[in-house]
Chain A
Amino acid sequence: MSAPARGDRVLLGPPGPVPSAAGRFGEFGGRFVPETLIPALEELEAEFRTAWSSEPFRSEFAGLLESYAGRPTPVTECHRLSDRLGVRLLLKREDLTHTGSHKINNVLGQALLARRMGKQRVIAETGAGQHGVATATAAALFGLDCVVFMGAVDVERQALNVFRMELLGAKVVPVSSGSATLKDAINDALRDWVATVESTHYCIGSVVGPHPYPWIVREFQRVVGDEAREQSRAILGGNDPDVVVACVGGGSNAIGTFAGFLDTRSRLVGVEAGGLGLESGKHGASLARGVPGVLHGARSLYLQDEHGQILEAHSISAGLDYPGVGPEHAELAASGRAEYHDATDEEALSGLVLLSQTEGIVPALEPAHAIGWLAREVGKKIPLGSTVVVTLSGRGDKDAEQVAQRLGAELNK
């Protein structure tokens, strides 16, 4: 690799709050894993603790974010859509990063950690394929072997990303157990890791999983919020936005965004996948309808039946199709610092079309939920005239085929 840029343009704020020694955010979090994984999690925690307070590590990370991922990403003021909705809307443009979503931020940080720990192989789970593509990208950049686990259903609906991962040299393993989506991909990644932990780093893509992952991923994603805060202040005459909105599956783009605004007076809103509507039972709204439980190593809120079996989530967007949520979100909801709502599949689709046709920006289906929710709630939960920052976590190319199937006929009318 050539000498990285110094990363001076990247607004990497100081490290954020450290969770308790047991990895708890309030009553959520923890480390509920088979004994075999304990040594690796302890090693990872120690490595991250040292690295994250080390100036050389931080500047190498910032350098990669700048010279490789294309940070800082801009904040774009949406004049036409603002007029249409009756708010002042700013978009944090994670869709403009290399690989097209915020996932690259976390992956570059974890690749640096893997290298520090001398791990030659990385594994990852992916839903929409964005985290898989980002991991495959970082693996290629760092010369690491890469295996990505992906639900068989998602392999079907995200064929383009499967090809991208393979092109980047990664092996994609379709997972057909359970619901064959993101949850099951994480199960199989964990099973692989139990067998390979001494040579392999598990590059988790969201703020889920056992301690220290929710903390690490939040810290690597907080650049989104740190940048957005400074950039929106510059646009808003030194003021913070009234509302900050991001979509929530596992919750990494939202937690990264919120991290930059936690100590401001901005309202923080996470938008979950409403699927076919909360009443239908087919959704991914674990903050709204989940109950406390333990899955994938952490206590958080999960969709489950009366016997404690985890339920399948449903969402038009593979990236939000997860029956749980990161433990820090569960705590932010419990403390009331953040509020969580949902947008349905249909609302996400109309959000996608709305942003495409008013601003010339085609969002991924995941952040389209945030746009769709905002469009629905202006004048209701969002007062007219509010200043609003929405994190546009990724671009819509990966969803073009699926959206074409859903909307093609309609658009041609």
Chain B
Amino acid sequence: MNLEKEFRAKRDAGRKLLVPYVTGGLGGRWTDVVRAVADAGADAIEVGIPFSDPVMDGTTIQEASQRALEIGATPAGIISELKTIDVHVPLVVMTYYNPVAHAGHERFANALKASGVDGAIVPDLPLDELGSWAVAADAADIETVLLAAPNTTGERLAAICARSRGFVYGVALMGVTGERDHLTKQAGTMGARCKAATDRPVLLGVGISNASQAVEAASSADGVIVGSALVRRLLDGGGPDEAAAFVAQLRAGLDQRIG
């Protein structure tokens, strides 16, 4: 599947895009969680490949990553389990650069492709360091999604939007992932700035914690990514049903806003 083509088509049809994040390897039923959130209205699913030192993540994803690693999750294991997931929406992995570099760019990109993954988000691999990963990813047809931050300069934002594939990930606040009580003003500004800079789909993520925040964020962008709020439900003992119920809430909110 082509992530960007898919997203553009849905956006152009008037749909707000919803990308839930699920930590790969978190418990024996994580692949069922992925299937359940796909059925509940996700437009793509971001699957986290846990890393020992996730500096862009707050406590929820840190804990999920640590738990997954403790029960034996590995990048190769997760990627190979992804092969068993046959959902109707694109899969995007999110991981840190070291596991990618350690596996080798080509090997990693090819393994993703072989498992039916369409895109990759590597938050500690900024534009200037994309280098040979981008070459390998492009060659394997893995779309590398780049992040833009609220303090990214205009010139750099244009370059990020130009090099990003799939969509542009607008970071909705100054900070790491994790739930927040309110959406910051930076979210709206970020969405508007990215939209003005590119025709690619723009999704906002980081700190978007519930349906009303998702709706608010999506008003300035093409969609949202929701991670910690979903992962917390899994850490609290929830399974595929709880995850699906939460994603269905987000979906309903986003659809209502359109309708």
A309 touches B174 (CB 8 A): no
Sampled A-B contacts (25; CB under 8 Å)? A30-B129, A32-B129, A33-B126, A34-B124, A34-B126, A35-B123, A35-B126, A35-B147, A35-B160, A36-B151, A36-B171, A38-B152, A178-B53, A187-B53, A187-B55, A191-B57, A197-B174, A294-B98, A294-B101, A295-B98, A297-B124, A299-B101, A304-B98, A308-B75, A308-B103
B174 touches A307 (CB 8 A): no
Chain A CB within 8 A of B2 CB: no
A34 vs B69: C-alpha distance in the bound complex, in angstroms?
A: 22
8 Å CB contact of A307 from B57, B99, B176: B99
The 9 closest A-B pairs by CB, nearest first: A308-B102, A195-B175, A308-B99, A36-B149, A309-B52, A35-B149, A190-B55, A310-B52, A307-B74
* Complex Cα spacing A33 to B122, Å: 10
A31 and B129 form a contact (CB under 8 A) = yes
A305 nearest CB across to chain B (Å): 9
Q: Is A309 in contact with B97, judged by CB distance below 8 angstroms? A: no
In the bound assembly, the distance between CA atoms of A292 and B127 in angstroms comes to 21
A309 touches B55 (CB 8 A): no
**Cα separation A89 to B142 with both chains bound (whole Å):** 58
Least distance between B136 CB and chain A CB atoms (Å): 16
Q: Is A177 an interface residue (CB 8 A)?
A: yes
Q: In the complex the two chains form, is A198's CB within 8 Å of B75's CB? A: no
Instruction: Give me the interface of A with B, judged by CB distance under 8 Å.
Output: 22, 30-36, 38-39, 177-178, 183-184, 187, 190-191, 194-198, 291-297, 299, 302, 304, 307-310
Assess whether A310 is in contact with B53, with CB atoms less than 8 Å apart.
yes
CB pair A195 B149 closer than 8 Å? no
Once A31-B126, A33-B124, A308-B98 are accepted as A-B contacts, the answer to whether A198 and B51 lie under 8 Å apart by CB is: no
Task: Give residues in B with beta carbon < 8 Å to A.
Answer: 51-59, 62, 66, 69, 74-76, 97-103, 123-129, 146-153, 156, 160, 171, 174-176
| Chain A neighbourhood of B58, CB < 8 A | 191
Determine how close the nearest CB of chain B comes to the CB of A209; give it in whole angstroms: 11
Contact B97 A35 (CB under 8 A): no
Q: Please give the distance in Å from A365's CB to the nearest CB on chain B.
A: 25
Report the separation of the CA atoms of residues A33 and B126 in the bound assembly, to the nearest whole angstrom.
7
Distance between B123 CB and nearest chain A CB, rounded to angstroms = 5
Question: Among B58, B102, B175, which residue has the most Cβ atoms of chain A within 10 A?
Answer: B102
Residues of B with C-beta under 8 A to A36: 149-151, 171, 174-175
A35 to B147, CA, bound (A): 7
Tell me which residues across on chain B come within 8 A of A33, comparing CB atoms. 55, 124, 126
* Closest B residue, CB atoms, query A195: B175
Known contacts A293-B102, A307-B102; is-contact A38 B53 (Cβ 8 Å): no
Report the separation of the CA atoms of residues A308 and B153 in the bound assembly, to the nearest whole angstrom. 33
| Residue of B52, B97, B100, B123 contacting most chain A CB atoms (<10 Å) | B52
CB B106 to nearest CB in A, in angstroms, measures 15
16 new A-B contacts, CB < 8 A, other than A35-B171, A38-B156, are A33-B124, A35-B149, A36-B174, A38-B152, A178-B66, A183-B53, A187-B53, A191-B58, A194-B174, A194-B176, A195-B176, A198-B151, A293-B101, A307-B75, A308-B100, A309-B52
Chain B residue at minimal CB-CB distance from A22: B128
> Can you name the residue of chain A whose Cβ is closest to the Cβ of B174?
A195
**A197-B174, A297-B124 known; A34 vs B75 contact (CB < 8 Å):** no
Q: Which residues of A contact B56 (CB under 8 A)?
A: 34, 191, 194
Please give, as numbers and ranges, the residues of chain A lying within 8 Å of B124 by CB-CB distance.
32-34, 294, 297
Q: A22-B128, A198-B174 are in contact. Are A191 and B102 (CB under 8 A)?
A: no
- Identify which of A32, A194, A195, A308 gathers the most chain B CB atoms within 10 Å of its CB: A308
Q: Of all chain A residues, which has the CB nearest B102?
A: A308
Q: Which residues of A contact B66 (CB under 8 A)?
A: 177-178
Q: How far is the CA of A33 from the CA of B55 in the complex (A)?
A: 9
Q: Smallest Cβ distance from B90 to chain A, in angstroms?
A: 22
B148 and A35 form a contact (CB under 8 A): yes
How distant is B2 from chain A, measured CB to nearest CB, in Å? Answer: 24
Q: Are B151 and A39 in contact (CB under 8 A)?
A: yes
Are A294 and B52 neighbours in the complex by a CB distance under 8 Å?
no
**Minimum distance in angstroms from B194 CB to a CB of chain A:** 12
**What's the Cα separation between A178 and B160 when bound, in Å?**
32
The answer on a CB contact under 8 Å between B52 and A38 is no
Bound complex: CA A228 to CA B96 (Å):
41
A196 shortest CB reach to chain B, Å: 8
Closest residue of chain A to B75 (Cβ to Cβ) is A307
**What chain B residues lie within 8 Å of A38 (beta carbons)?**
126, 128, 149, 152, 156
- Residues B62 and A177 in contact, CB atoms below 8 Å apart: yes
Given the complex, which residues of A lie within 8 Å of B97, measured CB to CB? 32, 294
- The distance from the CB of A52 to the nearest CB of chain B, in whole angstroms, is 22
Contacts of B127 in A (CB 8 A): 35
B55 proximity list for chain A (CB < 8 A): 33-34, 187, 190-191, 194, 296
Instruction: Give the Cβ gap from A94 to chain B, nearest Cβ, in Å.
Output: 30
Chain B residue at minimal CB-CB distance from A189: B55
- Nearest-CB residue, chain B, relative to A23: B128
Say how far A15's CB is from chain B's closest CB, in angstroms. Answer: 24
